[in-house]
Amino acid sequence: MTLPGLFPYWVVIVLMMIGFYMVIAHGNLVLKIIGLNIFQTSVFLLYISMGKVRGGTAPIIASGFSTYSNPLPHVLILTAIVVGIATTALAAALIIRIHGAYGTIEEDEIHRQDNSL
Protein backbone atom coordinates (compact mmCIF):
# COMPACT_ATOMS: atom_id res chain seq x y z
CA MET A 1 0.00 0.00 0.00
CA THR A 2 1.45 3.35 -1.01
CA LEU A 3 0.18 6.79 -0.11
CA PRO A 4 0.45 9.76 -2.43
CA GLY A 5 3.94 11.15 -1.89
CA LEU A 6 2.80 14.42 -0.35
CA PHE A 7 0.14 12.96 1.96
CA PRO A 8 2.10 13.29 5.28
CA TYR A 9 2.74 16.97 4.53
CA TRP A 10 -0.96 17.60 4.00
CA VAL A 11 -1.91 15.90 7.28
CA VAL A 12 0.69 18.07 9.02
CA ILE A 13 -0.75 21.21 7.42
CA VAL A 14 -4.26 20.29 8.62
CA LEU A 15 -2.92 19.83 12.18
CA MET A 16 -1.06 23.13 11.90
CA MET A 17 -4.23 24.94 10.85
CA ILE A 18 -6.19 23.42 13.77
CA GLY A 19 -3.59 24.90 16.12
CA PHE A 20 -3.65 28.24 14.27
CA TYR A 21 -7.46 28.36 14.51
CA MET A 22 -7.25 27.77 18.28
CA VAL A 23 -4.79 30.63 18.66
CA ILE A 24 -6.95 33.20 16.86
CA ALA A 25 -10.50 32.01 17.64
CA HIS A 26 -10.31 31.06 21.32
CA GLY A 27 -10.67 33.77 23.92
CA ASN A 28 -9.21 31.71 26.77
CA LEU A 29 -5.48 32.32 27.16
CA VAL A 30 -4.63 28.75 28.26
CA LEU A 31 -6.48 27.34 25.22
CA LYS A 32 -4.51 29.78 23.04
CA ILE A 33 -1.25 28.38 24.44
CA ILE A 34 -2.46 24.81 23.79
CA GLY A 35 -3.23 25.84 20.20
CA LEU A 36 0.24 27.35 19.89
CA ASN A 37 1.75 24.06 21.15
CA ILE A 38 -0.27 22.07 18.61
CA PHE A 39 0.94 24.41 15.84
CA GLN A 40 4.50 24.03 17.06
CA THR A 41 4.40 20.23 17.26
CA SER A 42 2.98 20.16 13.73
CA VAL A 43 5.91 22.23 12.47
CA PHE A 44 8.23 19.69 14.13
CA LEU A 45 6.38 16.92 12.28
CA LEU A 46 6.84 18.78 8.98
CA TYR A 47 10.61 19.02 9.48
CA ILE A 48 11.02 15.42 10.65
CA SER A 49 8.94 14.08 7.76
CA MET A 50 11.32 15.81 5.32
CA GLY A 51 14.28 13.97 6.87
CA LYS A 52 12.79 10.51 6.41
CA VAL A 53 14.42 8.27 3.80
CA ARG A 54 12.42 5.35 2.43
CA GLY A 55 13.75 2.09 3.90
CA GLY A 56 16.05 4.03 6.22
CA THR A 57 16.55 3.59 9.93
CA ALA A 58 17.37 5.88 12.86
CA PRO A 59 20.72 7.68 12.30
CA ILE A 60 22.69 5.62 14.80
CA ILE A 61 25.58 4.00 12.94
CA ALA A 62 25.62 0.24 13.45
CA SER A 63 26.81 -2.74 11.46
CA GLY A 64 24.15 -4.35 9.30
CA PHE A 65 22.52 -1.07 8.27
CA SER A 66 23.44 1.11 5.34
CA THR A 67 20.46 3.46 4.83
CA TYR A 68 19.88 6.09 7.49
CA SER A 69 17.41 8.96 7.70
CA ASN A 70 18.83 12.48 7.60
CA PRO A 71 20.02 13.48 11.12
CA LEU A 72 20.06 17.24 10.46
CA PRO A 73 16.29 17.97 10.90
CA HIS A 74 16.38 15.87 14.09
CA VAL A 75 19.07 18.12 15.57
CA LEU A 76 17.20 21.30 14.62
CA ILE A 77 13.96 20.04 16.13
CA LEU A 78 15.64 18.87 19.35
CA THR A 79 16.72 22.48 19.84
CA ALA A 80 13.26 23.75 18.87
CA ILE A 81 11.50 21.50 21.42
CA VAL A 82 13.60 22.89 24.27
CA VAL A 83 13.09 26.49 23.12
CA GLY A 84 9.34 25.68 22.81
CA ILE A 85 9.05 24.59 26.42
CA ALA A 86 10.90 27.77 27.48
CA THR A 87 8.35 29.96 25.67
CA THR A 88 5.46 27.88 27.09
CA ALA A 89 6.81 28.39 30.60
CA LEU A 90 7.12 32.14 30.05
CA ALA A 91 3.60 32.30 28.60
CA ALA A 92 2.23 30.36 31.60
CA ALA A 93 3.91 32.80 33.99
CA LEU A 94 2.44 35.74 32.06
CA ILE A 95 -1.05 34.16 32.24
CA ILE A 96 -0.71 33.81 36.01
CA ARG A 97 0.26 37.49 36.26
CA ILE A 98 -2.63 38.52 33.98
CA HIS A 99 -5.01 36.53 36.19
CA GLY A 100 -3.54 38.28 39.22
CA ALA A 101 -4.13 41.70 37.68
CA TYR A 102 -7.52 41.19 36.00
CA GLY A 103 -9.01 38.21 37.85
CA THR A 104 -9.75 36.46 34.56
CA ILE A 105 -7.95 34.73 31.68
CA GLU A 106 -10.68 35.44 29.11
CA GLU A 107 -9.59 37.83 26.39
CA ASP A 108 -12.96 39.63 26.02
CA GLU A 109 -13.20 40.24 29.78
CA ILE A 110 -9.65 41.69 29.83
CA HIS A 111 -10.50 44.05 26.92
CA ARG A 112 -13.74 45.09 28.64
CA GLN A 113 -11.87 45.98 31.85
CA ASP A 114 -9.23 47.86 29.85
CA ASN A 115 -11.85 49.90 28.01
CA SER A 116 -13.84 50.76 31.14
CA LEU A 117 -10.82 52.45 32.74
Partner 1 sequence: METLILLAVLSFLGLTALAILRLRDGVTAVMLAGLYSLLSAGVFVLMDAVDVAFTEAAVGAGISTVLLLATLHRTSRMTHRPTHTPLIPLIVVMVTGAALVYGTLDMPAYGDPQAPIHQHVGPDYLRDGPNTTGVPNVVTAVLASYRGYDTLGETTVVLTAAIGVLALLRGRRQGKERS
* Binding residues for partner 1 restricted to 88-117, rule: CB under 8 A: 88-90, 92-97, 99-100, 104-108
Cα–Cα distance, 49 to 66 (Å, whole number) = 20
| Residue 7 DSSP one-character state | H
Residue of 64, 78, 115, 116 interacting with partner 1 (CB under 8 A): 78
> How far apart are CB 117 and partner 1 at their closest, in Å?
19
User: Between 20 and 59, how does the x/- string for binding to partner 1 read (CB under 8 A)?
Assistant: xxx-xxxxx-xx-xx--xx--x--xx--xxxxxxxxxxxx
Question: What does the H/E/C string look like for 73-99?
Answer: HHHHHHHHHHHHHHHHHHHHHHHHHHH
